[in-house]
Chain A
Amino acid sequence: MSSLWTALENTGRLANQRLHGHTGEVALGTLVHGSWLGGRLPELRDRSVLILVRDQLAAATAIVELDGIARRMVLCPPDLASEHLPYVAAAAEAEAVVHDRGAPLPAGIGCCVPFGPEAVPFNGERVPQRRTEWVLLTSGTTGPPKLVLHSLASLTGAIRAETAAAGSRIWSTFYDIRRYGGLQILLRALVGGNSMVLSDANEAVDEFLHRVVAGSVTHISGTPTHWRRALMSQGARRINPRYVRLSGEIADQEILDWLAAEYPRADRAHAFASTEAGVAFTVADGRAGFPAGLLHQPESGAELKIVAGSLRIRSNRVAERYLGNVERRIADEEGFVDTGDLVERRGERYIFIGRRDGIINVGGMKVHPEEVEAVINRHPEVQQSLARARRNAVVGAVVVADVVLRSAPRAAADDTTVKAEILDACRRSLAPHKVPASLRLVPSLAVGPAGKLIRRAAPAEPPFRMKANVNVDATCE
C-alpha cells in the first residue's frame, strides 16, 4: 500500500465504520474526504512533523492525513514530558508541529498547524507522493525517550496476511494508539476498514469498558497488566469479545487461564512484539511461552534465534534505526534484534523467564523477578505482584515482593494467612535465594504509560557490607 489514506480509501466499506474517541467519533469516510488541518495540509508536505495532540482520535486522524504527505511524522504520546520535547524535536529534525490548544510547543519550529476541531471537506491534492517515516517514542524510566524509525510497511508487516480474511471486526485496545501495541490495533482497524473504540488516559477502566460494550467491540488487546486491572472491574463482566490479545509483557499461565475462564468463547492470543523488533509472532494455544518449533519454521515471517539465552528476531517488521544521539544500533549486522528477553526451553516449548536487565543478584546467584511473580500469581487471591531487589548488607540484595489481592479490604488476620500461604508456595517452588525475604500487601502497583508494570533497576551496591558477607551457595538450607 502506498499510504494509509490510500489503503483506507481502497477498503471501500466505510459507510458505517467509525473511530470512537473518548469525547467524539469520526466516520472512516470522513477520514478519507475531510481534513482537520484547516486546509493547511499542503504546508506539511515533505516536512518532518511532530503530532503533538492530547486526544487519541485527533492523533489518529492526523496520522491518516500526514502519511504519504509528510517526510516524517513523530507520534508523541500524551505523557511525553515537556522537558524532553526539545530533544525529540531536534532528534526528529522537526520543521512543523500539529497541535491542539494548550499543548506546550517546542521553540524554534516555524510551522505550527492547529488541529481541528471540526473536519472540513478537503479538495486539494492528496495523492501520496512519498514513503513517510513513522517515528515512535519508547520511554525508559529515566532520561529522554528513544525515537524509533519505522515505515508503514514495517508497521503493517504482520497485518496484511490476516486482514485479507477479515470479516466484520470492531477493534479496541487499552493501549494509547501512539504506543507500538496500540498502533498495531489502529492499523488493523484502518487497513481492514473496521471500526475501533479508542481508550483515553484520563478515563477510568470501567468507563472505558462501558464504551467497549456500547461499541460492540469484538477484538480487544492490552498488556497483561492492563488485563489484570480490567478483570477486577465490573465492566469486565459486560464485555463479550471474540478475540482477546495480550502483548507488551510476559503473559504467564495465570493471566492466560484467568482470561480463558472469563471469556471462554473468545480466541485468546499473546503476541511477542517490541517497538524496535516489531511483531515477531503470535501464540494462540492458550499456553505460556511459544512452541520450540517456531525457531525453525518461521511461518509468521519472522526468524528467531537464541543467543546466550536471549531471544533475537529478524523480520521485515524490525524498525530501521534510532534517531538522535543513540549509539546503539537496533539490529546487528545480520539484521537480528537482540530483545533482551530471556527464554528457557522446557520440553517442546520456550518459556520467557525475564528481562536480562532485570536480574536480581542475591549473593552471586541470579533471580528473575518474573519467575518469583509467576509463583506468587498462582495464589487464587492474587491479582498482581511485583518482585524487586532490596539492598541488603549481607548478600548485596534480597528479593522482596509487593502483592495486590483480588478481594476488597479484609481483616488483618486474613491478610496474615494469605501472606503465609504465598510465602509457603514460594518456598515449595523456588530455590531459597529466590523466596521473597519480605512480602507486603499493597493496594496497587505503579503502572507506566505504556500499560506495563514499572520495574526499577536493581539498586547499586550497598554502602556497607557485613563481614559475614559470603556467596550463598546453591546447597544452603
Chain B
Amino acid sequence: MTIRSTIIEQMQSIAKERGKSLVGLTDELPLLRSGLDSLGIATLIARLEDELDLDPFGTGDDVATPVTVGDLIKLYEGSAA
C-alpha cells in the first residue's frame, strides 16, 4: 500500500468512526475543510505514526506546514525517502 493510499484510507476511516464521510478529497483541498476537525487531524497523525512508522513533525527539523491534503501526502512521502 502506498503512503498516499494509506493516508486517504485513514482519513476515511477516522471520518467514518465519527459518523461522517469525506467526499471530494483532492490534493488541493485544505485539510481543515476535508471534513476532519483539528482533533480528527491529530488522530490522523497518530494513526499514521502507527501505520507508516513515520512522524515528520517529531524530527525537530523545520517542517513546512501542510495546508492541503496534497501537502500532507508530500510531507510523509518526503519523510519516508
Contacts and interface: CB of A to CB of B under 8 A. Distances in A.
B58 A462 contact: yes
A15 interface: no
Contact of B39 (A427, A462, A476): A476
A476 B43 CA distance: 14
B38 interface: yes
Q: Which of B32, B43, B47, B62 has the most CB of A within 10 A?
A: B43
A440 interface: yes
Given A392-B45, A393-B45, A466 B39 contact: no
Contacts of B38: 363, 394-395, 468-470, 472, 476
Contacts, number: 74
B57 A464 contact: yes
A327 B77 CA distance: 51
B3 to A, nearest CB: 17
B45 A463 contact: no
B17 A466 contact: no
Given A438-B47, A438-B49, A476-B37, A394 B42 contact: yes
A464 B46 contact: no
B66 A438 contact: no
A177 interface: no
Given A390-B46, A392-B45, A468-B31, A363 B39 contact: yes
A340 interface: no
B63 A464 contact: yes
Interface in A428-442: 432-433, 437-438, 440
B50 A391 contact: no
| Interface size of B as a range | 20 to 34
Given A395-B38, A472-B38, A466 B46 contact: no
A394 B58 contact: no
Nearest to A397: B42
Contact of A432 (B31, B39, B45, B46): B39
A391 B31 CA distance: 20
Contact of A438 (B50, B57, B58, B65): B50
Nearest to B63: A464
Given A438-B50, A477-B37, A398 B42 contact: yes
Interface in B51-81: 57-58, 60, 62-63, 65-67
Contacts of B39: 362-363, 394-395, 432-433, 472, 476-477
Interface of B: 17-18, 31-32, 37-39, 41-43, 45-47, 49-50, 57-58, 60, 62-63, 65-67
25 contacts: A362-B42, A363-B42, A390-B49, A392-B57, A393-B42, A393-B45, A394-B41, A394-B42, A423-B17, A427-B17, A432-B18, A437-B43, A437-B47, A438-B47, A463-B58, A466-B66, A467-B67, A468-B41, A469-B38, A470-B38, A472-B37, A472-B38, A476-B37, A477-B37, A477-B39
Given A427-B18, A437-B42, A468-B65, 7 more contacts: A392-B42, A393-B58, A437-B46, A438-B43, A438-B46, A468-B38, A472-B39
Interface of A: 362-363, 390-395, 398, 400, 423, 427, 432-433, 437-438, 440, 462-464, 466-470, 472, 476-477
